[in-house]
Amino acid sequence: MLTLGDNGELTDLTRKAQSVYLLRFVLLLFLQHIHKVNLCTSSTSSLWEEWPVETKRDLSPIMSEERKQLNFVWSRLEEMIEILQDNCDDIGVEEEVVEALGLVIEGSSGFDNRSVLPLKELTSQNANHAATGYLKATQSYCFKKLTNWIKVHLGSNPFGVQFCLTQGCSLSWPGQEKRAQEDKATPPRTSFMATNIHLNVRTKKLVVLSQICKQTLARNSKTLHGSTLKLHRCHYCYLYLFPPFRAVTVNSCKGTTLVLGPVATTLHVTNSKNLTVIAVARRICVSNSSNIKLFILTPTRPLILGVKHQGVWLAPYNTHYPLLEQQMLEAGIGSHCNRWSEPLFLVHEMKEESSVTKLLLPPSEFYLFTVPFEMDGPTKSIPGGIPPHYEEVRKSREDTLKDWQAKVQNASLTAEQQQQLQALVQEKFQVWLSATGHQRELESLGHYMKHCQGRKKEKKRRKENSTAEAPLL
């Protein structure tokens, strides 16, 4: 653990040790179209749009995200190179520029599609020197030959969502039945659960859950372990996904409770509403979302960006399960630093000074969350604990419950009176469940547990039958 001296020398050394790859940073700004934004005006909404950014009339609504990105790179390749280096036609494209382009372009060589290489490594191979116009003496590439070579071989991302849904492996988990069909008022939805795990590229493993509606899913599998998870249009679900993830994106979801394992890089919630997210993540980003409750543990400041924000609440992490600390260690996230209450605003119509307190969940609305599944592991409490003012409210509720239990025990009620009291409490409890929406949560969880028990019994029956039918040796 680092400690600061009185002279602040360690602070200066730490700042000097930090750096940014300049060319890649310039390319990132280009992708955001920051060169088209007038920072002197208050109209900066285009700054927060995700790339590729084009005018609405130029985009076809049926084009996939990967296709848009491919068209963007193909049409803007020369412009990107010219921004990174002047006089490319005269002196050639320097290796540093090709390395910077690796931010958006990478690929494979020959028949080995499982080895993903940066663009610079592909262009530096001897077999590609002639096609790219590489000159060893100047360590540069011919501008026209390089751009032509890239465009000829440029294709859609084989590790993207479109490929995963069309050519990936479908997933079948307990509780995946189309619950929406049981509700006649809700039209049935076609849900998609797929992965590209069959490509066997560990750093590119992707899992997509799309259009899951009114279901409870719980999973702690090798398929999810270390993957990039994309949740798309999941409505009124309860999702318990416990493995550590590389990254998680929650897009266009609503009415869903999401409990995640540690996220090693970024958890991004976008274009969603009425969500409860419980997660440990290195970085957390919320964009263009409303009525979002985040119970989080993060070593970095939560990033709030976009132009539409109504009711985004931040709260300290409020749960634990036996494998949590072990998974946090694997993801490289500690519990000693939690900056959940220090949001960073990139929303042009919000003022940070007046908005921070409005984003923090009041202690009176903070409750612990109990994971309703049995697991083996050493974690017995919330990593890092609970902030004092939230702990005081929790302790006050606990004391109130103990006082109530003591009063009932000391009231010397008859058996009939106890039954009457129990019936009254049960009635009030049912009213509370319905009013808060927890009734649907319990019913969905009960259906999931029943389905899992049925699958276990079926597997046990099949195993017993196969053992009974095995020939004697």
In a domain, 12, yes or no: no
Read off the tokens for 218. Answer: 């719980």
Q: Residue 376 burial by CB count (10 A; 0-12/13-18/19+): exposed, middle or buried?
A: exposed
In a domain, 239, yes or no: yes
Sign of CA dihedral 118, 231, 348, 346: negative
Same-domain status, 232 and 272: yes
Q: What is the pLDDT of residue 302?
A: 94
Same-domain status, 250 and 372: yes
In a domain, 186, yes or no: yes
Same-domain status, 31 and 58: yes
Same-domain status, 165 and 149: no
* Phi, psi (degrees; rounded to nearest 5) at 52: -80, 135
**What type of residue sits at position 143?**
F
User: What pLDDT tens digit does each residue of the chain (473 aa) get?
Assistant: 344 444 556 666 666 666 778 898 888 888 877 555 554 544 444 444 455 654 444 444 445 677 888 888 999 999 999 989 887 766 789 999 999 999 999 888 765 556 788 899 999 888 899 999 998 888 899 999 999 999 999 988 878 887 787 787 888 776 555 444 445 455 555 678 888 887 777 778 899 999 999 888 888 888 899 999 999 999 999 999 999 999 999 999 999 999 999 999 999 999 999 999 999 999 999 998 999 999 999 999 999 887 656 788 999 999 999 999 999 999 999 999 999 999 988 765 554 544 565 689 999 999 999 998 888 899 999 999 999 999 999 999 999 989 988 888 888 888 898 888 889 988 988 888 888 777 777 777 777 677 666 666 666 666 666 655 545 43
Which neighbouring-strand residues pair with 304?
Answer: 286, 345
In a domain, 464, yes or no: no
In a domain, 454, yes or no: no
Closest CA to 76 of 56, 101, 94: 101
The three-state secondary structure class of 169 is strand
Q: For the chain, what is the domain count?
A: 2
Question: Which residue's entry shows tokens 């300049």?
Answer: 22
Closest CA to 394 of 405, 385, 384: 385
Same-domain status, 192 and 62: no
Please report which helix (H) or strand (E) contains residue 440, including its range.
Answer: helix 438-469
Q: Cα separation of 135 and 146, whole Å?
A: 12
Q: What is the pLDDT of residue 413?
A: 85
CATH of the domain at 269: 2.160.20.70
In a domain, 99, yes or no: yes
Residue 311 DSSP one-character state: E
Closest CA to 290 of 262, 260, 321, 269: 269
Q: Give the range of the structural domain holding residue 128, as residue numbers without chain letter.
A: 20-153
Same-domain status, 381 and 276: yes
Same-domain status, 168 and 218: yes
**What type of residue sits at position 318?**
N
Same-domain status, 181 and 147: no
Domain end marker among 88, 120, 153? 153
Closest CA to 408 of 425, 393, 394: 425
Q: What is the pLDDT of residue 58?
A: 44
Q: What is the pLDDT of residue 55?
A: 46
In a domain, 448, yes or no: no
- Are the C-beta atoms of residues 68 and 84 closer than 8 Å to each other? no
In a domain, 90, yes or no: yes
Q: What is the pLDDT of residue 181?
A: 45
Q: Which residues contact 161 (CB under 8 A, 6 or more apart)?
A: 64, 65, 66, 206, 208, 230, 232
Cα 428 → chain centroid: 37
Q: Cα separation of 249 and 270, whole Å?
A: 8
Same-domain status, 326 and 364: yes
Question: Which residue's entry shows tokens 């190179």?
Answer: 81
Same-domain status, 119 and 179: no
**What type of residue sits at position 161?**
V
User: How is 58-92 classified by DSSP, letter by letter?
Assistant: GS-TT--HHHHHHHHHHHHHHHHHHHHSS-HHHH-
Q: Cα separation of 78 and 93, whole Å?
A: 11
